[in-house]
Amino acid sequence: MFEFYYVFMIRMILDLFFPKKCLACGILGNHICRNCSIKLRLKGNQCCPNCRKSNKAGIFCNQKCSNNFSFDQLIVCLDYDGSSLLRELIIMFKYKFSADLSRFFGELMFRQAEKFRQLLSWDIIYLVPVPLHKARLKYRGFNQSLLLAEYLSKRFKRSCVLDCLHRLKNSERQAKLGKLERQINLQGAFCLNVKNPNLSVSGRRVVLIDDVATTCSTLNECAKTLKSGGAKSVTGLVLARGHLFC
């Protein structure tokens, strides 16, 4: 937590000397201005997480498609098509703490999730952020997925953040790896916090929160861990989904 405040303070000081500008048009104010934010359209139809065939709910086409996956559904907010604006915004959000971007992206995720009535009908929406490894958290000072989960928990009426996953392997730099290499790299990378019974996922439907998913290997490994702890279902909710070349 200390690191987070440290990063927060540095960010505040930097903003004083270097006022924030919209990354698209350069207007002073926030990292994205109201006019330019319209360029980021929420994804209409979802698709099968495996073969990417279009469907409304982001579920798997059939057993064959769901075979190697442990989560049940994937809700994607934006297509990460390599557009420079989204890329720059995500880099800014991920690596340089930006409170306005965590609100902006959190709100996009909330608006997308709101379209899923079945999700809103749950008694409590348990939000589980994809964790960072301890060393990376120390280096970066904050976990962007946790910031998104915390924002979402303020927006959903009945929800709770369950920060119950630990990352055991520091295997986050996967951009240059192929699908199979990513899967192997992540095997056994997560575990559950079993010491705190309040963080139990047993019998609960959970929403797993991440910023960018590509092959979904990370989401899948997290979902596997959550199911091993008795989670009833796992819905992935990600800000953007990229292709392997992103």
Which of 20, 30, 33, 209 touches Zn ion (CB under 5 A)? 33
Least gap, CB of 62 to Zn ion (angstroms): 7
**238 forms bridges with which residues in the sheet?**
76, 210
Q: Are 240 and 86 in contact (CB under 8 A)?
A: yes
d(CA 144, CA 123): 26
Least gap, CB of 152 to Zn ion (angstroms): 25
Amino acid at 87: R
Q: Are 221 and 213 in contact (CB under 8 A)?
A: no
Please give the span between the terminal C-alpha atoms of the chain, in angstroms, as a whole number: 31
Least gap, CB of 156 to Zn ion (angstroms): 28
- CB-wise, 74 or 165, nearer to Zn ion? 74
Least gap, CB of 57 to Zn ion (angstroms): 12
Handedness of CA 60, 64, 65, 68 (dihedral sign): positive
- CB-wise, 62 or 118, nearer to Zn ion? 62
Least gap, CB of 155 to Zn ion (angstroms): 24
Least gap, CB of 53 to Zn ion (angstroms): 5
- CB-wise, 192 or 234, nearer to Zn ion? 234
- CB-wise, 37 or 174, nearer to Zn ion? 37
For Zn ion, the binding residues in 96-155 under the rule CB under 5 A are none
| Residue 176-205 contact track with Zn ion, rule CB under 5 A, x = bound | ------------------------------
- CB-wise, 33 or 132, nearer to Zn ion? 33
Residues in the chain: 246
Which of 25, 120, 184, 194 touches Zn ion (CB under 5 A)? 25
d(CA 43, CA 112): 8
The backbone torsions φ and ψ at residue 194, rounded to the nearest 5 degrees and listed phi first, read -95, -10
For Zn ion, the binding residues in 43-62 under the rule CB under 5 A are 48, 50-51, 53, 61
- β-pairing, 233-242 with 205-213? parallel
Cα separations in angstroms, 208 against 100, 201, 231: 22, 12, 11
DSSP strand E in the chain: where? 46-47, 54-55, 73-80, 125-129, 159-161, 165-167, 190-192, 205-213, 233-242
Which of 20, 24, 101, 128 touches Zn ion (CB under 5 A)? 24
Least gap, CB of 226 to Zn ion (angstroms): 22
How many residues bind Zn ion (CB under 5 A)? The answer is 11
Which of 20, 30, 31, 36 touches Zn ion (CB under 5 A)? 36
Q: Residues in the site for Zn ion, rule: CB under 5 A?
A: 22, 24-25, 33, 36, 48, 50-51, 53, 61, 65
